[in-house]
A and B are shown apart, each in its own frame.
Chain A
């Protein structure tokens, strides 16, 4: 049981390049999430998917797009990377509903130069 996996672990991009961060979970969870973690800012929700086929904006969605490919996979795309998107990105999953804990992936450290 791998839990939540993310690829890649590290990435360096030049301004204007695009890339997709991949996330998969094997816990049969309905809900999946993308966060960014910045020093002094905590974790901020970028997008989430309450269930397969639905996606919604979180607190900081600008500059990002997401795809809920199937129940297992939830990808985050940066169409035109900017230095302000330098961050650590975490994917998480949970059962549906507000009482359930979220399980986090190991994170992707992204640097945009």
Chain B
């Protein structure tokens, strides 16, 4: 079974402060991890994924297999980063096309 845990439902920071959204996962095989974001009144969209190793909008995420974590980080938060963030896991191999989502963290960046 695959599981994604986002321990914080709500996270509030001030503009310019560092932000870290936590994500832990449980999966017996080799996972692919994603971060999806939903801005107010917009559809859910991919922010970044582990395999691409990109930095998108200043956000980065490192897969730590030892700690089974994929935390999302940004050194200086902006007000436009306020959104709902979902961590998601996809399992390797076979016909497993399913994404398992965490329950989400609502990030608010205050001016």
The interface-forming segment of B57-65, B67-75, B97-105 is B97-105
Pairwise interchain contact A40-B44, C-beta atoms closer than 8 A: no
With most chain B CB atoms within 10 A of its CB, the pick from A94, A102, A104 is A102
Query: Once the chains are docked, how many angstroms separate the CA of A60 from the CA of B80?
Result: 33
Q: Is B25 an interface residue (CB 8 A)?
A: no
Q: Are A99 and B98 in contact (CB-based, < 8 A)?
A: no
Task: Report the count of interface residues on B (CB-CB < 8 A).
Answer: 25
Q: Write out, one digit per residue, whether chain A residues 38-59 have a CB within 8 A of any chain B CB (1) or not (0).
A: 0011111100101000000010
Instruction: Enumerate chain A residues within 8 angstroms of B8, measured Cβ to Cβ.
Output: none
C-beta contact mask, B1-38 vs A, less than 8 Å → 1, else 0?
Answer: 00000100100000000000000000000001010000
Provide the residues of chain B in CB contact with A97, threshold 8 Å: 97
A42–B104 CB distance below 8 A: yes
> Do B90 and A31 touch across chains, with their CB atoms under 8 A apart?
no
Sample of 9 further A-B pairs with CB below 8 A, known A42-B102, A45-B100, A48-B98: A33-B98, A42-B101, A42-B103, A43-B86, A50-B95, A50-B97, A92-B44, A98-B97, A107-B43
Binding site for A on B (CB under 8 A): 6, 9, 32, 34, 43-46, 49, 51, 86, 90-93, 95-104
